[in-house]
Amino acid sequence: MPTGVPIRDAEQQLFAAAERVLLRDGPSALTSRAVAAEAGVAKGLVHRHFADFDAFLAGLVLDRTARWERQASALSASAGQDDVVEHLTEALVRLFSPVTVSIVGLIIARPALRDRLREAGTARIPLLGEGTETIRACLAAARRRGRLAGEADVGTIAPLLTGAVHLLCTERECAPPPHAEVRKIVRAALGG
């Protein structure tokens, strides 16, 4: 691989390569060498942009969390305007994309990555925590608009939904999870 050739958006190219390796080969195959090979760059490029590989992985997780948060703001803004079950189903299916499920698995598999993420200020599992908060905000908006019972405990229902759908995705390869199964979970959580 030639050196000294400028690469546009090197971090994003490396993150995209890491996602491909993660989706294809799983968390144990994700190494700086595998990312560099997938991106078609020299291994040193990863270390030129990041202090070490765990810093790279933390950057990947934080970048993908920021992407989710941009999607989440649009989902939250439209909450309670449509059918509540369909809106929550769509939000959960979007949250549990193959990339999200793989990244959550990566976070769980790598204690050093969890440490880095804590150092970066995350107090929960990224993506799952933000996703749960988005679902809670959607439920609260639906409750405010009278589309959900006033006594609905959105603080309990939100993690129940994200936990159930995450479990659905980890029990078998189903990311994104099937709409029909997610809809069934949402209906059950909302009391039918």
Do 73 and 141 lie in a common domain? Answer: yes
Please tell me the distance from the alpha carbon of residue 141 to that of residue 143, in angstroms, as a whole number.
5
pLDDT at 72: 83
Task: List Cβ neighbours of 75 (8 Å cut-off, separation of 6 or more).
Answer: 87, 90, 91, 94, 134, 138
What's the whole-number mean pLDDT along residues 32-39? 95
- Under the banding of pLDDT at 50, 70 and 90, the label for residue 132 is very high
DSSP state for residue 48 in the 8-state scheme: H
The answer, yes or no, to whether residue 141 has pLDDT greater than 50, is yes
CA dihedral 15, 16, 22, 27 (to 10 degrees): 0
- Are 95 and 20 members of one domain? no
CA separation, residue 160 to residues 67, 126, 190 (Å): 23, 17, 10
pLDDT given at position 6: 54
* Judgement on whether residues 122 and 37 belong to the same structural domain of the protein: no
Q: Check the CA dihedral 51-53-55-57 and report its sign.
A: positive
Per the domain annotation, does 2 fall within a domain? Answer: no
Q: What is the pLDDT of residue 145?
A: 87
pLDDT of 3 reads 53
pLDDT higher for 174 or 85?
85
pLDDT band at residue 55, thresholds of 50, 70 and 90? Answer: very high
Average pLDDT, integer, range 177-190: 94
Does residue 38 sit in the same domain as residue 87? Answer: no
Q: Give the range of the structural domain holding residue 129, as residue numbers without chain letter.
A: 65-189
In a domain, 54, yes or no: no
pLDDT, position 1: 45
Of 14-18, 40-44, 65-69, 171-175, the range with the lowest mean pLDDT is 171-175
186 token code pair: 């949402």
More confident residue, 62 or 124: 62
The structural domain count of the chain equals 2
Q: How confident is the model at residue 174 (pLDDT cuts 50, 70, 90)?
A: low
37: domain CATH number is 1.10.10.60
- Identify whether residues 84 and 159 lie together within a single domain: yes
Between 8 and 35, the more confident residue is: 35
93 and 150, same structural domain?
yes
